[in-house]
């Protein structure tokens, strides 16, 4: 069994995405520099020419314009060689009529090691990881899925939208936002950190600035 202490640490939330120079289906790229000023999603898949991965790439491409409207780019990754990526993309276009427009990293294993994409308990291929990186190159969300489960791409879009709203308005987002069972499409006001602010929350609720269940649970419509 591998000694956990020998594993290299992987990046954590809030840290800068590590520098890497990668071979992709669109040529050599330097990350995160290639997406300076943009959000981007790096997502890994177990292998080219596999059914679940094919459905994911089609789903990502079908929503690519939505990602771009959020100033967010996509870049895939697996340990397949670049000619395999190119041929698979050709197959998807020829057989399914979908043109994959975003690049795919042909990883030698270096990127997988840096980002913790190979989990020995799930085999030797990369798992389905998702790294959501903001326009300042900070890692905001990390998701891992096993090889047998395809991702919900609409949830990834929701996550990007939610983080951008959180940044812009300094708010939190409830479960299933914007369709929460309690507060619907409202956003959550960050909890008060002192007595004066706690009391003011309820006063603001009286004049309709917020809606509150209590001083620690206030929400509003943007």
212 is catalytic: no
Residue 31 token pair: 């990350």
CA pair distance 7, 184, nearest whole angstrom:
43
Other residues' Cβ atoms within 10 Å of the Cβ of residue 134? 20
Q: What is the DSSP-derived secondary structure letter of residue 10?
A: P
Residue 214, φ and ψ in degrees, nearest 5? -165, 175
List 53, 72, 212, 218, catalytic entry: 53
**Closest by CA position to 63, among listed 159, 127, 139, 136:** 159
Checking 92-95 for CB contacts under 8 A at 24+ apart, the result is 92/54, 92/57, 92/58
CA pair distance 100, 19, nearest whole angstrom:
25
Other residues' Cβ atoms within 10 Å of the Cβ of residue 130? 18
Catalytic residues: 53
């Amino acid at each position: 069994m591998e000694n956990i202490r020998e594993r290299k640490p992987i990046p954590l939330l809030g840290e800068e995405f590590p520098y890497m120079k990668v071979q992709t289906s669109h040529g050599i790229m330097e990350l995160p520099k290639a997406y300076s000023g943009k959000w981007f999603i790096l997502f890994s898949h177990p292998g080219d020419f596999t059914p679940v991965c094919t459905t994911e790439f089609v789903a990502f491409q079908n929503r690519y314009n939505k990602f771009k409207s959020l100033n967010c780019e996509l870049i895939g990754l697996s340990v397949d060689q670049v000619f395999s990526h190119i041929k698979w993309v050709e197959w998807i276009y020829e057989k399914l009529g979908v043109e994959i427009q975003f690049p795919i990293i042909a990883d030698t294993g270096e990127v997988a090691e840096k980002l913790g994409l190979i989990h020995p308990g799930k085999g030797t291929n990369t798992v389905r990881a998702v790294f959501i990186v903001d326009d300042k190159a900070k890692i905001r969300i990390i998701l891992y899925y096993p090889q047998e489960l395809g991702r919900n791409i609409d949830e990834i879009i929701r996550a990007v939208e939610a983080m951008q709203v959180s940044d812009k308005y300094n708010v939190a987002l409830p479960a299933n936002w914007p369709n929460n069972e309690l507060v619907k499409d409202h956003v959550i006001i960050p909890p008060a950190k002192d007595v004066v602010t706690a009391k003011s929350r309820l006063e603001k609720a009286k004049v309709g600035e917020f809606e509150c269940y209590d001083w620690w649970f206030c929400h509003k419509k943007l």
